[in-house]
Chain A
Amino acid sequence: MNGSDVVIGIDTGPPSEPEASARSWRLSGDSLFHGVAAVAAFIAASTLFGTVIAIALDSRLSIHTFGIWNFLKSSEWNPVTQTFGAFPFIMGTLISSAIAMVIGVPISFGIAVFIVEIAPAWIKRPVAGAIELLAAVPSIVYGLWGLVVFAPVFGNIEPWISNTFGKIPGIGALFQGPPMGIGMLTAGIVLAIMILPYISSIMRDVFMVVPASLRESAYALGATTWEVAWDVVLPYTRSAVIGGIFLGLGRALGETMAVTFVIGNSNTLSASLLMPSATIPSVLANEFTEATTKLYVSSLIYLGLILIVVTLAVRFLAVLLIRHLGRKEGVKA
């Protein structure tokens, strides 16, 4: 009866002392490992709820004071009178993200189609790699570049914008204002550049998984590249594409540093896109460490709660669409 018999598990009679302890050590080693792994998985899964609950708890004071509807529609953010309202920041967040989507989604689509359908083989990888590098640049560098390099250049373009678009009746008011270079529109543009890699890479992954037979039959029928992309590939991958768009939206809504540098930090709502504004993340970045009263801090956290609820809904839909509905389209989640 030697050690190797124990390890191999040959039944050599009732377990002797060394065998029994070896087996129980093995069993408790397994249970321990399993337990640790399960705890880790539980931690990973509960960070989502933990975040929301912790933020919700700390906004109780403000929710008590202002309620829900009043806080959402009030435009007054006044630390002096201790009256706080979220409306300008909600609008700022939504509008800057909307601009980012309007600019970013078509460009992302163009990039994805170009890489998958149009580009010759030798261009595909470098271009795809270059676009992915956009995601690797930290957001604070986007902010720095946006303020120091892009804003002055854009400030020279803005007079042209207010002269051409500002004159159009109806939407002209959107484009009035002094050419500061920074503001809502600049923030939207920088956000658009930031979300390009995310949306385009999901679109790209998804387009590539379209069965070759589908594409080839379309080409065989005489379809042009554009028609294949728009009428065959896109409808086939529709849910995952929408999921990718939601993912980009989620990123744009929550982006802090790039926006804080270039949005101009004005807590008043303005009609023009060329004027400074503020988003929930930017006001958190600017005012959090200096909030003087419990109500002020709680109101800022309340803003954070609104943001997390909105981004959670958006990201939930995004993951749902990409993973589960996209599964039927053969998308590798």
Chain B
Amino acid sequence: MKKNLLSVSLLLCFAIAIGALAVVSHADESSITGAGSSWVYPLVAKWSAEYTTKTGIRVNYQSIGSGGGIAQIKAGTVAFGASDMPLKPEDLKAAGLIQFPTAVAGCVVDYNLPGIASGKLILSGPVTADIYLGKITKWNDPAIEKLNPGLKLPDTNITVVHRSDGSGTTFTFTNYLSKVSPEWAQKVGSNTSVSWPTGVGGKGSEGVVSYVQRIPGSIGYVEYAYVMETHGSYARMINSAGKVVSPTLQGFQDASAHVDWTKAQDFYVILTDQPGADTWPISGCTWQILRKNAPKEQNMQVMKFFDWGFEHGQAMAKSIIYGPLPPSTVQAIKSYWKNELGYGI
């Protein structure tokens, strides 16, 4: 009895192993892999779920941060990399890459203050920079109170949450802080990964929201869809026009209204701290990066997917507050593909 059990179980193990290896040759022709920005992840997840039901092609996207997306596409281990920090034209050329934008959205500051509802707290760029520099350490600091007359702020420590991984959201956020705070620009600067003066590091936007959810008195920065989907609390900001604004589709799209995408080389555009009465100050975009010398079939699959998104995915995008690109930009993107790769759709 025991001998049979033993033989059977060992046989089973080897059978699984052999079976697994036998299945190895199963080719995944009907799927493409992408990785990168967690900023754009809610949008790509929604688009790919719908795309699979419509076409049967699976878009496997891993949200590992813009830094990871750039690394993976450079290494050729994915079909497309997504980054919220656009690569400079010289860098693109040197690495044999092309990039194109997906949709505009906004980064918000989220907080965990029991008793203070979402949208009630108002912050300005300089004050946010000082919080993240570690200069403002308590919620009832005079600088914060000045922006929020009438709001009772608690005497608790501020726990700063930032990203622990290479993140385009970090780039957008620190880019904004560098513009509004000379001290930040000088001490910390702006990139997908910086030397944070203080705070706890969350992995991915998911990690940041998770920490903010768990730690009372904490503050973080994430793309707006994350706060929406998890019913978190966001702060209203004072934009470059001096007005208090909320994160809205209009606010994000206003940020790109002054920018001519079609004229920007390789669509290199920065959308933070743009002028406009209703403009959201921490707006941004995600760029999809392709390798020029990747197999044509693979690049075609990627282009088809995003073209589908531009064509049929706008309602979905708007439902999670991602602003579609203007039609002229979409046309420019298609021409760009043809020009850069020699083929297109």
Contacts and interface: CB of A to CB of B under 8 A. Distances in A.
Given A178-B217, A290-B68, A292-B70, A79 B193 contact: yes
B243 interface: no
A166 B26 CA distance: 61
A264 B197 CA distance: 14
Nearest to B194: A80
A88 B70 CA distance: 26
A126 B70 CA distance: 53
The number of chain B residues touching the other chain, given as a range, is: 20 to 34
Interface in B158-185: 158-159, 164-166
A147 B211 CA distance: 9
A76 interface: yes
Contacts, number: 86
B159 A290 contact: no
A266 B165 contact: no
Contacts of A264: 200-201
Interface in B241-284: none
Contacts of A178: 156-159, 217
Given A80-B189, A264-B201, A287 B159 contact: no
A286 to B, nearest CB: 5
Interface in A228-280: 264-268, 276, 278
A181 B214 contact: yes
Nearest to A282: B164
B193 A147 contact: no
Contacts of A78: 193-195
Interface residues on A, range: 20 to 34
A178 B200 CA distance: 11
A289 B81 CA distance: 13
Given A77-B195, A178-B159, A267-B196, A292 B214 contact: no
A290 B201 contact: no
26 contacts: A78-B193, A79-B191, A79-B192, A80-B192, A147-B214, A155-B215, A178-B159, A180-B159, A180-B218, A181-B214, A264-B201, A265-B164, A265-B202, A266-B200, A268-B197, A276-B199, A286-B164, A286-B165, A286-B203, A287-B164, A287-B165, A290-B64, A290-B68, A290-B165, A291-B67, A291-B71
Interface of B: 64-65, 67-68, 70-71, 74, 156-159, 164-166, 189, 191-203, 214-215, 217-218
